[in-house]
């Protein structure tokens, strides 16, 4: 086939198409719905949710998880394009660990040394490590599917960012179930759970996001 | 990059193309091809690849530009976007050719020669890959590319609806792009 014939062939393929941004938007919405479904059907709110909503530690935890989700999803919008530049999204993502470290510092000042370990170990470590990855499955699948329709030049990083987004969404939901609000707990167990999902995304990206 | 002087026009043509202007799309592809070709030639030389690979790579890049055109953000310059696609495809294509040197390429070419003795088309990689498409997709691709028919003419000829031809053409092009990546990376894409 001559190149001019190929061009003619390509021109004839005028299937209506969605922009990549629109695809990622939809994937995000479907992912949130999937995580919400798992949350409301199988996880549910903590019993003291109304008093928790007035606790600074709880609100901080929600805010950190939400920031992670927003920053990572913003980065997915960019990483799916071949000329990707993460721009401000990498700053948003950098804020999350920085804020967590500060909160841990404040917590260490605020509570006596004797109860540090108790706060760190908490009561829900096992739930945290299983429920966050479980809640993240739906969002991860949708975001990887969206990225497959994109054209990333960094498949592993793109997959890892999809994993980070998925765990951000999952963690945001999970905060409403988990009664361990200490930054010591969040910085430890939420981070490990997030890391698990990011690793899964990394390998999924390596396998599925080449084009 | 001095090869991208026409970047401004390309962006305009591509914007028109994405909103459905087939003529603008044709002009865009025709105008971008010589630049792709000279980049391909340059890269093949510096990588020690054969001159005969140049056109194969150009075709693979054109197909990638087509299938991934929605990842271009219309408010951004199109030059860096094209360059990124080109870079990604070149790395792939040259790596694959590096791997293939273990296989005597003449053998492949010989079998091709026998298969298409009377074919009037040149023996490009794309023709070898076409043979691996599903029969109907291949018929449609060949009907449009070789006989130069439109989607409607092809639909009439094959007794299919226009919509079915459109879908099969799109799937055929996606399958071709996947075949370029080779059996190792081939994903079974069903959509």
Average pLDDT over residues B96-104: 54
Check residue B161 and give its pLDDT: 87
Q: What residues in B contact A13, CB-CB < 8 Å?
A: 66, 166, 169-170, 173
Question: How near does any CA of chain A get to the CA of B39, in Å?
Answer: 16
- High-pLDDT (> 70) share of chain B, %: 77
Contact A167/A193 with Cβ under 8 angstroms?
yes
Q: Where in chain A are the domains? A: 20-208
Whether B62 contacts B29, CB under 8 Å: yes
Q: Which residues belong to CATH 1.10.1740.10 in chain B?
A: 2-100
Residue A136 token pair? 């993240």
pLDDT for residue A151 is more than 60: yes
Q: Which residue has the higher pLDDT, A69 or B115?
A: A69
Q: What ipTM, to 2 d.p.?
A: 0.84
> Given this model, what pLDDT does residue B91 score?
84
Among the ranges B40-44, B69-73, B184-188, which has the highest mean pLDDT value?
Answer: B69-73
Give B64's contacts in chain A (Cβ within 8 Å): 151, 211
Query: Out of A44-58, B31-45, B113-127, which region has the weakest mean confidence (pLDDT)?
Result: B113-127
* CATH architecture for the domain at B2-100: Orthogonal Bundle (1.10)
User: Higher pLDDT residue, A96 or B128?
Assistant: A96
Given an 8 Å threshold on Cβ–Cβ distance, is A1 in contact with B59?
A: yes
Q: Are B123 and B112 in contact (CB under 8 A)?
A: yes
- Position B184 scores a pLDDT of 45
Contact of B10 with B31, CB cutoff 8 Å: yes
| Of A69-83, B104-118, B133-147, minimum mean pLDDT range | B104-118
Whether the predicted pLDDT of A80 surpasses 80 = yes
Residue A15's nearest CA partner among B178, B174, B139 is B174
pLDDT value for A204: 98
Q: Please report which confidence band the pLDDT of residue B122 belongs to, taking 50, 70 and 90 as the band edges.
A: low
Residue B184 has a CB neighbour count (10 Å cut-off) of: 7
Coil vs helix vs strand at B92 = helix
Interface test with B, best of A4, A8, A10 (most B CBs within 10 A): A10
Show the tokens assigned to B1: 């990059």
Q: What is the mean pLDDT of chain B?
A: 77
Domain with CATH 1.10.10.10 in chain B: 105-180
What's the gap in Å between the CA of B48 and the closest CA on chain A? 23
What pTM value is reported for the model? Answer: 0.85
Q: Which residues of chain B make contact with A19, given a CB cutoff of 8 A?
A: 70
Q: What is the pLDDT of residue B111?
A: 38
Q: What is the pLDDT of residues A6-24, one digit of tens each?
A: 998 999 887 778 899 999 9
CB-based contact (8 Å) between B145 and chain A? yes
Q: What is the mean pLDDT of chain A?
A: 94
pLDDT tens for each residue of A20-38: 999 999 999 999 999 999 9
Report the CATH architecture of B105-180.
Orthogonal Bundle (1.10)
Which residues, 6 or more positions from B102, have their beta carbon under 8 angstroms from its beta carbon? none
A194-207 pLDDT, tens digit per residue, is 999 999 999 999 99
Within a 10 A sphere around the Cβ of A3, how many other Cβ atoms?
20
Q: CB contact, 8 Å: A85 with chain B?
A: no
User: According to the model, what pLDDT value does residue A90 have?
Assistant: 85
């Amino acid at each position: 086939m001559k190149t001019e014939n190929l061009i003619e062939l390509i021109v004839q393929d005028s299937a209506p198409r969605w922009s990549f941004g629109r695809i990622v938007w939809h994937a995000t919405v479907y992912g949130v719905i999937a995580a919400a479904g798992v949350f409301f059907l199988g996880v549910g709110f903590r019993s003291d949710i109304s008093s928790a909503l007035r606790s600074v530690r709880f609100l901080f935890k929600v805010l950190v998880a939400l920031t992670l989700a927003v920053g990572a999803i913003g980065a997915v919008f960019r990483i799916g394009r071949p000329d990707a530049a993460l721009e401000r999204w990498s700053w948003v993502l950098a804020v999350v660990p920085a804020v967590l470290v500060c909160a841990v510092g404040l917590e260490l000042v605020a509570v006596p040394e004797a109860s540090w370990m108790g706060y760190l170990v908490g009561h829900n470590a096992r739930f945290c490590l299983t429920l966050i990855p479980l809640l993240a499955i739906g969002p991860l699948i949708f975001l990887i599917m969206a990225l497959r329709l994109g054209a990333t030049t960094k498949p592993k990083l793109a997959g890892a960012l999809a994993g980070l987004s998925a765990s951000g969404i999952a963690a945001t939901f999970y905060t409403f179930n988990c009664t361990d609000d200490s930054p010591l707990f969040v910085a430890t167990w939420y981070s490990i759970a997030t890391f698990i999902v990011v690793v899964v995304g990394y390998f999924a990206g390596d396998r599925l996001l080449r084009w | 990059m001095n090869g991208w002087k026409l970047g401004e026009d390309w962006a305009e043509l591509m914007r028109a193309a994405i909103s459905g202007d087939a003529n603008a799309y044709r002009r865009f592809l025709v105008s971008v091809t010589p630049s792709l070709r000279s980049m391909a030639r340059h890269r093949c030389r510096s990588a020690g690849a054969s001159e005969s690979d140049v056109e194969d790579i150009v075709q693979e890049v054109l197909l990638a530009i087509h299938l991934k055109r929605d990842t271009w953000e219309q408010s951004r310059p199109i030059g860096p976007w094209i360059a990124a696609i080109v870079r990604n495809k070149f790395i792939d294509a040259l790596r694959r050719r590096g791997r293939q040197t273990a296989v005597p390429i003449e053998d492949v070419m010989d079998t091709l020669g026998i298969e298409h003795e009377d074919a009037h088309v040149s023996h490009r990689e794309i023709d070898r890959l076409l043979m691996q498409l599903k029969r109907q997709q291949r018929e449609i691709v060949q009907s449009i590319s070789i006989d130069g028919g439109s989607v409607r003419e092809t639909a009439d000829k094959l007794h299919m609806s226009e919509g079915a031809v459109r879908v099969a053409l799109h799937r055929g092009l996606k399958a071709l792009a996947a075949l370029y990546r080779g059996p190792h990376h081939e994903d079974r894409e069903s959509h």
